[in-house]
Every structure is written in structure tokens, then in C-alpha cells.
Chains A and B, each alone.
Chain A
């Protein structure tokens, strides 16, 4: 049983395309993270959000608490955006993280 489901699992896009990655979860949460993992392994946090929308450069993250759904959008995608994007939620008590299996994005020049 996966508490966090991401779609799609794999995504290939042409440079410049608008990209959307989706995350659905089944548990009550206190916050949701979007993480980025580049080839070579390191993981960085892109966003932490508990409501509404956040924007950082070309990246936008939204969350709908009622629908238990979040999206990560990348505008004007670039080959350097190629990475695995991971959705993680923090359970309502704040002590338990649940991770999606990730979306592998490849942006072709």
C-alpha cells in the first residue's frame, strides 16, 4: 500500500515545454515536500507547502488539501531540469514521512 502515488513515473519532454508532475496521497498531512534528485544521487528540497501555491523561478508547486493532491509545474523546461522529482508528505503528527517513488524527467534539447 503506497500512501503517496506519483504520476507519471517517467516523462520525456522537449526543451521549452511546460511540464506537470502529479502527486496524490491518502494520509492526513501537515505538509508536503517536492524534492529533486539529480543523477549522482544528491537530493535537494524544492518546496515545502501546506496550502495554496509556491513559486521559485520556473518551478511552481500547488496543493489541494481537500483533494489530497499536489502538482509540480516546470515552465520553459531545460535539459538541466532532467532529474527525478520526489513527492514526500509529512503525516499529521509531524513525525512520519511518506515518499513517492519519484518521476524521472528527461528534457531533450
Chain B
């Protein structure tokens, strides 16, 4: 089983729909991240969490929200999806410094 699991792996939806991407990890790490990847751009941070009670905005948090339901689970929501949120989304975890990064397989979201 993967250390970091994302669901769904692929999703096509329509403008205005609410979408949730889920992430779960078996590494026991405190730190979890949501990134978005667009062609020609580096990974950009949407939100991050250092424990269940700690949620922080990243550089591109507008239009997104997150929930840290447990140490192992970190969900990303798009309350009202728009086409420019079409991208590949990655969840990642990291142990306390100097920990390595572990990524999920990615969730490809298409908003029509």
C-alpha cells in the first residue's frame, strides 16, 4: 500500500460544483501539504498543516479550503469549482525536520 493515498485519482466536474480531494497517510507524520501543479509552473502550495489543530494558508489558497480530520487525513475542498482550477493536485507529508517529503500519486481535476 502507498504511504500517501489520494482519492480520487481523476475527476471531471462542472463549473460551480463542490469537489473534495482526500488524502490519507500511513507514515505517522505531523506535517501535511496540498500542492497544485500546472504545466510550466513549479508546485505551488495551497494549504499546509503541522498538526490537527494547525492549518495554514499557502501562496494560492483563494478558492480552496481544507480540513485536517485526523493526523492521517487531510482533505482539500473546492467550494465552487472554476475552470482555472483544472490542474494536478498533490498531497505530501513530511516528518518533523529534517524529514523527507512523501507525495501521493496525484489527483487530476478537470473543471469544465
Contacts and interface: CB of A to CB of B under 8 A. Distances in A.
B97 A35 contact: no
A42 B107 CA distance: 10
Interface in B29-62: 33, 40-45
The secondary-structure label for the interface of chain A is strand
Interface string A86-102: 10101000100111111
B43 A41 contact: no
A31 B45 contact: no
B98 A99 contact: no
B40 A43 contact: no
Nearest to B43: A99
A107 interface: no
Interface of B: 33, 40-45, 88, 90, 92, 97-98, 100-106, 108
